[in-house]
Amino acid sequence: MEAILLNGKEIAEKKRKMIRDEVSQLRLKNIIPGLAVILVGDDSASRTYVTNKQKTSKQLGMHSILIEFPSSVSEEDLLSKVQELNIDPSIHGILVQLPLPKQIDEIKVIEAISPNKDVDGFHPINIGRLMIGQDTFIPCTPFGIMEMIKETGVTVEGKHVVIVGRSNIVGKPAGQLFLNENGTVTYCHSRTPKLHEYTSKADILVSAVGKVDLIRGDHVKEGAIVIDVGMNRNASGKLCGDVAFEEVKKKASYITPVPGGVGPMTITMLMENTLKAAKLLLQNR
């Protein structure tokens, strides 16, 4: 039997419709969720991400502003813009597109964002809240992964979840979310010997590495759910993930494609976080 495709575009569209409806409700109460995106320099991939985030927020009825700085911007100027946005009542979510140029300390910038406006969920306070199972802004990609898992109807509790990759923005928070759902979590990374010995025992396998064909058929247990976060170009320049899709779909029960899997979910969960930030304000009125 072939795996069922977890279509990120479809799941994202369903979610976006719900967000759009909630934004309309908030607008009736004179709250327009506002997202500020800061772009430093002119990296083409960063610009594409930022443009997509802006476009989506507008489609969902949100207020969205883009603040651009040249790559020569000083840390001080960037920090003072963040402070300004922290107190701007029309802005509920602040996102600084990473990576930043070398002269700027990324950690300092992330820590300058008010935790209540940290819609990327990268602020140490929000990461701490995630660790102890408190309500927080969940980093968008792991948040999207959990939404896709929900879509399968499979409960995480008691499952063995193997996460390949331990970055602060994807791997680590993804593992924490599965742990919070009572999964048994194993993290693998570049120093893990015999990767397949771990991955082939996973009921749920998440690969967030960035290497074409890292996960082959023999890395996967029969019937596993396979979530491919990787975004790579193969030898012919085609967008692909970490998972050898054609081989793995013959063994998995569910699988995400690349493109059209986790990617569309990531932006959608950013919108969900921006909506949440605006609703927080309503609660605190």
Q: Where are the beta strands (DSSP E) in the chain?
A: 4-5, 34-40, 63-69, 93-96, 160-164, 184-188, 204-207, 225-228, 232-233, 239-240, 254-255
- The span from the CA of 172 to the CA of 164, in Å, is 10
| Annotation marks residue 88 as catalytic | no
Q: Distance of CA 283 to CAs 25, 30, 31, 64, Å? A: 14, 14, 12, 22
- The span from the CA of 85 to the CA of 14, in Å, is 31
> What does the per-residue mask of binding to ligand NDP show for 39-68, with x meaning CB under 6 A?
------------------------------
Distance of closest approach, residue 281 Cβ to ligand NDP, in angstroms: 27
| Annotation marks residue 43 as catalytic | no
Q: Is 194 in the site for ligand NDP (CB under 6 A)?
A: no
Q: Are 159 and 203 in contact (CB under 8 A)?
A: yes
* From 12, 185, 262, 275, residue interacting with ligand NDP (rule: CB under 6 A): 262
Distance of closest approach, residue 153 Cβ to ligand NDP, in angstroms: 23
Q: Is 229 in the site for ligand NDP (CB under 6 A)?
A: yes
Q: Are 140 and 266 in contact (CB under 8 A)?
A: yes
Q: Which stretch binds ligand NDP (CB under 6 A): 34-42, 198-206, 224-232, 271-279?
A: 224-232
Among 166, 150, 84, residue whose Cα is nearest residue 117: 84
**Catalytic-labelled residue, pool 15, 117, 118, 120:** 120
* From 24, 48, 190, 234, residue interacting with ligand NDP (rule: CB under 6 A): 190
Q: Is 166 in the site for ligand NDP (CB under 6 A)?
A: yes
Q: Which residues bind ligand NDP (CB under 6 A)?
A: 141, 164-167, 169-171, 188-192, 195, 208-211, 214, 229-232, 262-263, 266
- Active-site residue set: 53, 97, 120
